[in-house]
């Protein structure tokens, strides 16, 4: 295994070129990296390829058409399986259907659908014709969906009548109707509706049924090559400001990164492994490690529509036993939830097929690591703790199975071909065991190509703090062996159950309510979800004459945030306060609010304009928690 580290060290660009050549190129590339317009990078720029062809056609042409690509498990217990040939046939029809609707290369298609095979087929069909998908997680509200459709200027929206979640129908088409109401998204020409739950939906002249389109579509479609830098998808993620950013990825570099890391980090043996990543396709993990990585590598994988606890906490373990899953990839928050339920949750399920366990999305605490290792892995599996981001497109830091001894809680090493650093405020490398800022020091193939529609924001957000280096927004430290420990975000991005949210985004949702004059949101520590949202609000005295009592008001404001962003952003607590703690220059001191939310002693208040503000907030918090 040392060999790939050494090979990458000897000739980094040659190493990446070799990985890229593992894909099928309609036109081979001769250039590897062009960083002359830094920080905008071009990888394999004179080559052409088709992402859908790489995920499907080439495997079928290589004689792997009969291999199972998807083993679908619906939440109610229905199942379906697709071989690579079947997935290709469906994707070709879907591509033809989109073409018939006038979708052209470069057009954007929004996808707001459950984790079912049709959603993956839709993604592959969109990119097959060179269009760009923007998948929006089904847990986002109609308003959040509307903002994303508008920002991307989507021409088509693909959705479903609903999906199954927690034993109920989660309505999706109705949310799309609300998002598009009053011609608020004028770029949208048609909505395509996948039938999943058979729940009643309104079908207007703008709406088309997926199954009818597919049935009527031509079966043959030849995939043509697109430039390596042709945009592949946009995925919105939260940053430090109120407005989510459309992270843009392009074809050749992204597919190189996703496929290389998938086969390397999970030690994939595609002819015998059964792989399962529990992420939804609405998140980057679902893009890189449910769709593009596994399919480009001709893997056989399980996809599951529902939640881990439906109908019981045994569901995931039952699925692993049923399909003999050998590689399993999930988030620490799920592990902690199961830990709380207790080890009985796995009893009666044969998990002996497992060989590799992955973790992603937030730091995995050593207790959760040990539970994962001992109870799920029966002390027999390697754990790979994988650090990366929507922006990085693929895993940047992780152990590679068998390469070195893993340490509970450490993300460990940069992957071959990736150069990371940890620096102090001035940008100087720090000593081991000192906390610093995590940077990526050289461009990598699957790096984001920009923020959709806002090139300045790309430079400013990622490349201005430490000139010439990509600043990830995370704190980290090296230990004395040179292993990396991720310490979490150092900005106003918070992680709730592995979902990335911005405190500023929740604050702006709150102040849009007429009762609220000011809001400050912090991520408080939470045993299960890592962080939980706690909001402090100051009310507008002129607007609250008819408002309900405080407890009901807090409930209304929680629902309001759900309506504005989605259920994933529901605050755990909303506290009405007379004033927010501010410095003399008017900056809100969230650090102090975090102390209160975590029940700690309050830190230094000397820079506050009025230091009594904090004592009254603390007193109120204590009274509320005693109620």
Q: Which of 126, 258, 411, 451 binds ligand PRX (CB under 6 A)?
A: 411
In angstroms, give the least distance from the CB of 460 to ligand PRX: 17
In angstroms, give the least distance from the CB of 369 to ligand PRX: 11
In angstroms, give the least distance from the CB of 519 to ligand PRX: 23
CA dist., res. 109 & res. 158, Å (int): 7
In angstroms, give the least distance from the CB of 157 to ligand PRX: 23
- The 3-class secondary structure across 205-260, one letter per residue, is CCEEEHHHHHHHCCCCCCCCCEECCCEEEEEEECCCCCCCEEEEEEHHHHHHHHHH
Interacting stretch for ligand PRX, rule CB under 6 A, among 77-85, 198-206, 359-367, 531-539?
A: 359-367
Report whether 476 contacts 51 (CB < 8 A): no
In angstroms, give the least distance from the CB of 398 to ligand PRX: 8
CA dist., res. 21 & res. 43, Å (int): 12
Please, which residue, 89 or 368, has the CB nearer to ligand PRX? 368
Please, which residue, 328 or 560, has the CB nearer to ligand PRX? 328
* Residue whose entry in the numeric block shows the structure tokens 């995370």: 474
Burial class (CB in 10 A: 0-12, 13-18, 19+), 511: middle
In angstroms, give the least distance from the CB of 475 to ligand PRX: 9
Please, which residue, 91 or 285, has the CB nearer to ligand PRX? 285
Binding residues among 482-511 for ligand PRX as defined by CB under 6 A: 486, 488-489, 495, 500
**From residue 372 to residue 391, what is the string marking binding to ligand PRX with x (rule CB under 6 A)?**
-------------xxxxxx-
535 interacts with ligand PRX by CB under 6 A? no
Please, which residue, 490 or 538, has the CB nearer to ligand PRX? 490
473 interacts with ligand PRX by CB under 6 A? yes
Please, which residue, 259 or 390, has the CB nearer to ligand PRX? 390
Interacting stretch for ligand PRX, rule CB under 6 A, among 157-165, 357-365, 428-436, 454-462?
A: 357-365
Please, which residue, 108 or 489, has the CB nearer to ligand PRX? 489
User: CB 430: neighbour CB atoms within 10 A?
Assistant: 17
Residues found in the chain: 627
Binding residues among 266-325 for ligand PRX as defined by CB under 6 A: 284-285
Interacting stretch for ligand PRX, rule CB under 6 A, among 28-36, 248-256, 308-316, 358-366?
A: 358-366
Q: Is 285 helix (H, G, I), strand (E, B) or coil?
A: helix
Tokens of 570: 């529901």
Task: Quote the Cα angle for 492-498-501, to 5°.
Answer: 30
- The 3-class secondary structure across 440-454, one letter per residue, is ECCCCCCCCCEECCC
Report whether 495 contacts 531 (CB < 8 A): yes
Q: What's the Rg (C-alpha) of the chain?
A: 24
Interacting stretch for ligand PRX, rule CB under 6 A, among 92-100, 138-146, 257-265, 466-474?
A: 466-474
Report whether 282 contacts 136 (CB < 8 A): yes
Number of residues that bind ligand PRX (CB under 6 A): 23
Q: Which long-range contacts (CB under 8 A, 24 or more apart) does 488-493 make?
A: 488/362, 488/363, 490/437, 491/240, 492/240, 492/590, 493/238, 493/239, 493/240
Q: Which of 191, 237, 326, 531 binds ligand PRX (CB under 6 A)?
A: 237
Q: 107-116 in b/e burial notation, b at 16+ Cβ within 10 A?
A: bbbbbbbbbb
Element (H, E) at 81: strand 79-83
**From residue 141 to residue 180, what is the string marking binding to ligand PRX with x (rule CB under 6 A)?**
----------------------------------------
User: CB 538: neighbour CB atoms within 10 A?
Assistant: 17
In angstroms, give the least distance from the CB of 361 to ligand PRX: 5
In angstroms, give the least distance from the CB of 391 to ligand PRX: 7
Report whether 319 contacts 302 (CB < 8 A): yes
233 interacts with ligand PRX by CB under 6 A? no
Q: Which of 474, 505, 507, 595 binds ligand PRX (CB under 6 A)?
A: 474
By the criterion CB under 6 A, which residues form the site for ligand PRX?
Answer: 237, 284-285, 359-363, 385-390, 411, 472-474, 486, 488-489, 495, 500
């Amino acid at each position: 295994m040392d060999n790939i580290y050494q090979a990458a060290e000897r000739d980094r660009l040659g190493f990446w070129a070799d990985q890229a050549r593992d894909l099928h190129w309609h036109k081979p590339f001769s250039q590897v990296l062009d960083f002359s317009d830094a920080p905008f990078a071009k990888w394999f720029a004179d080559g052409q390829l088709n992402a859908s062809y790489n995920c499907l056609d080439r495997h079928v042409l290589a004689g792997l058409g009969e291999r199972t690509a998807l083993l679908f498990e619906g939440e109610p217990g229905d199942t379906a399986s697709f071989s690579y040939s079947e997935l290709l046939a469906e994707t070709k029809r879907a591509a033809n259907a989109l073409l018939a609707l006038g979708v052209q290369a470069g057009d954007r298609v929004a996808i707001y659908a459950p984790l079912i095979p049709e959603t993956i087929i839709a993604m592959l069909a969109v990119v097959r014709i060179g269009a760009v998908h923007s998948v929006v997680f089904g847990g986002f509200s109609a308003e959040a969906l509307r903002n994303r459709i508008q920002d991307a200027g989507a021409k088509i929206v693909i959705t479903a009548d609903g999906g199954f979640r927690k034993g109920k129908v989660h309505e999706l088409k109705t949310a799309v109707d609300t998002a598009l109401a009053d011609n608020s998204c004028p770029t949208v020409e048609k909505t395509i509706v996948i039938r999943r739950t058979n729940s009643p939906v309104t079908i207007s002249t703008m709406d088309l049924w997926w199954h009818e389109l597919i049935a009527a579509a031509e079966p043959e479609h030849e995939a043509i090559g697109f430039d390596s830098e042709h945009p592949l998808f946009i995925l919105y993620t939260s940053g430090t400001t109120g407005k989510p950013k459309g992270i843009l990825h392009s074809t050749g570099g992204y597919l190189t990164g996703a496929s290389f890391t998938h086969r390397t980090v999970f030690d994939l043996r595609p002819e015998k492994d059964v792989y399962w990543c529990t992420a939804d396709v609405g998140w980057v993990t679902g893009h890189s490690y449910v769709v593009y990585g596994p399919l480009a590598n001709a893997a056989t994988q399980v996809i599951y529509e529902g939640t881990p606890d439906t109908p019981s906490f045994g569901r995931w373990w039952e699925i692993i036993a049923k399909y003999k899953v050998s590689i399993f990839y999930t988030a620490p928050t799920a592990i902690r939830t199961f830990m709380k339920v207790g080890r009985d949750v796995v009893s009666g399920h044969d998990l002996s097929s497992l060989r590799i366990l992955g973790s992603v999305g937030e730091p995995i605490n050593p207790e959760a690591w040990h539970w994962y290792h001992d109870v799920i892995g029966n002390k027999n599996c390697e754990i790979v703790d994988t650090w990366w981001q929507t922006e990085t497109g693929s895993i940047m830091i992780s152990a590679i199975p068998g390469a070195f001894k893993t340490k509970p809680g450490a993300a460990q090493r940069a992957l071959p071909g990736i150069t990371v650093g940890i620096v102090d405020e001035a940008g100087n490398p720090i000593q081991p065991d000192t906390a610093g800022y995590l940077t990526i020091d050289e461009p990598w193939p699957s790096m984001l190509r920009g923020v959709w529609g806002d090139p300045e924001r790309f430079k400013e957000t990622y490349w201005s703090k430490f000139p010439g280096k990509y600043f990830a927004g995370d704190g980290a430290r090296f230990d004395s062996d040179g292993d990396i420990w991720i310490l979490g975000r150092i900005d106003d991005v918070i992680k709730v159950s592995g979902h990335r949210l911005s405190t500023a985004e929740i604050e702006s949702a709150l102040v849009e309510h007429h009762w609220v004059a000011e809001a400050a949101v912090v991520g408080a520590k939470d045993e299960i979800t890592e962080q939980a949202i706690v909001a402090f609000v100051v009310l507008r005295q002129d607007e609250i004459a008819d408002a309900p009592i405080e407890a009901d008001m807090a409930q209304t404001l929680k629902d309001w945030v759900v309506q504005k962003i989605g259920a994933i952003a529901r605050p755990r607590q909303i506290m009405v306060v007379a004033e927010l703690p501010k410095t003399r220059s008017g900056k809100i001191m969230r650090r102090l609010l975090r102390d209160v939310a975590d029940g700690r002693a309050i830190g230094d208040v000397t820079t506050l304009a009025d230091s009594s503000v904090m004592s009254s907030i603390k007193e109120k918090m204590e009274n509320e928690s005693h109620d």
